[in-house]
Amino acid sequence: MADDSRPAGAVQSILELSAFNPAARDNPHPMLKTMREDCPVFRDEAAKVWLLSRYKDVRETVNDRSFVRHPTKAEEGSLSARFVEERQERGTSILFLDDPDHARIRQPLAKAFYARINRMRPEIEAMIDAIIEKAPASGPFELMAEIAVPVPVLVIARILGVDEARLDDFRQWSEEVILGLNPVRTPEEDEALIRGAYALDAYFAELMEARRKAPQDDLVSDMVQLQGSGEAEISDGELRNNLEALLVGGNLTTTDLIGNGVWLFLTHPGQIRTFRDNPGLAAQAVEEVLRFEAPVSITSRILPDDRDVGGCPMKARQPVWMSLAGANRDPEVFEEAETFDITRKRASHVAFGGGPHICIGAPLARIEARHVYLKLFERYPDLRLAEQELAWRTLPFFRGLEKLIVEG
């Protein structure tokens, strides 16, 4: 849609839709609705990116294997091209790779990761039980710090094979590395980020070497074995980057899926009643939380050639960003899209993206969230929100709560 056809007062920049804008941070959905209705194929000239917000356009684009992803393939000066500076030196994880490298790394990694998750499911659930049982038996507590933050980091540490003795260090480095997702860092945070990234690199190099010598029952052992036997053609640097991507990609996102879900349930008493009466709905409830308050608001692709997308002519190298949160409330696809309803059965959401880059961690996030909701609502039959001023995190394109004080 050309600039001059934009309605007065319409969004001018995609940053206005992000958590940098206090209105969008508190509730992005009214702005996304306006966007979807008035300007579903939006051009941000300053950021040099397109933004799609209709489900149909987003679904078609994420699924289309001809789009590319590597930041060097994006138009110079565009928001997508800026990812390159940070990653050039170390190489990137599968998140920004294209075929054949993407498939070469993702296929063996996904196979080993999924086999391990399936095998470890009872252990993962037992870890979650233990974390929830450690929370105060009654009275107010901060759900994010007590449950939503520790669950994903401790689970991924166990899957990867982080030694118990290094668990505290590992948690600390993970938290430092996650600062990389925040583009407005203080100098102290910058320092912490660099310190964490180096420490994690060194730790993973050490862990891979140790598992090569003495394999254990963990994912790092699986991967170095596949690498050693030639079944997986992955260099040491690539393996390290991608094991770290499992850590960084999965923590904040799953934390937010847990936090957003508990908040949604506690603010929708009818839904929590339905959940308690029908625990069999747990898996479906996770999908509805993902649809209704997607922890990751945006993903992107890059055009490999000139073509029309969503009915608009676009040029090769132009990045196409997609509002996953916008698509997930598109009334063309979801009946009563603005209603949180765990019994809904219709179309699948796009909270995990789609196509070749669809979130590799989706099965794990689903297992964790499902079990947290089940166990939490079972342990606290009268769980409720404490009096508080709710604060959403200021991290652009992620949606999650800073804190959530609940009363058991």
Binding site for ligand HEM (CB under 6 A): 62, 93-95, 106, 156, 245-246, 249-250, 253-254, 257, 295-296, 299, 324, 351-355, 357-361, 364-365
Confirm if 129 and 135 have CB atoms less than 8 A apart.
no
- Smallest separation (angstroms) from ligand HEM to the CB of 309: 15
Q: Which is nearer to ligand HEM, 202 or 358 (CB)?
A: 358
E strands, 310-366, are: 312-314, 319-323
Q: Which is nearer to ligand HEM, 161 or 353 (CB)?
A: 353
- Smallest separation (angstroms) from ligand HEM to the CB of 299: 3
Cα gap 14→20, rounded to integer Å = 10
E strands, 102-226, are: 140-142
Q: Which is nearer to ligand HEM, 50 or 408 (CB)?
A: 50
- Smallest separation (angstroms) from ligand HEM to the CB of 245: 4
Q: Which is nearer to ligand HEM, 43 or 357 (CB)?
A: 357
**Three-class secondary structure of residue 105 per DSSP:** helix
- Smallest separation (angstroms) from ligand HEM to the CB of 135: 21
- Smallest separation (angstroms) from ligand HEM to the CB of 191: 26
Q: Which is nearer to ligand HEM, 68 or 365 (CB)?
A: 365
Read off φ and ψ for residue 239, nearest 5 degrees. -65, -45
Amino acid residing at 70:
H
Using left for φ > 0, alpha for ψ between -120 and 50, and beta otherwise, residue 257 falls in alpha
Q: Which residue has the tokens 């590992």?
A: 170
Cα gap 303→67, rounded to integer Å = 5
- Smallest separation (angstroms) from ligand HEM to the CB of 357: 4
Cα gap 231→226, rounded to integer Å = 5
Dihedral angle computed from the Cα positions of residues 335, 341, 342 and 343, in that order, rounded to the nearest 10 degrees? -60
Q: Which is nearer to ligand HEM, 117 or 408 (CB)?
A: 117
Cα gap 163→250, rounded to integer Å = 19
- Smallest separation (angstroms) from ligand HEM to the CB of 101: 11
End-to-end CA distance of the chain: 50
- Smallest separation (angstroms) from ligand HEM to the CB of 138: 29
Q: Which is nearer to ligand HEM, 106 or 240 (CB)?
A: 106
Q: Which is nearer to ligand HEM, 155 or 408 (CB)?
A: 155
Cα gap 124→120, rounded to integer Å = 6
Helix 236-267 to helix 187-213 angle (10° resolution) is 120
Burial class (CB in 10 A: 0-12, 13-18, 19+), 23: exposed
- Smallest separation (angstroms) from ligand HEM to the CB of 248: 8
Whole-number Cα distances in Å, 197 to 88, 174, 209, 213, 354: 15, 8, 18, 25, 28
Q: Which is nearer to ligand HEM, 292 or 408 (CB)?
A: 292
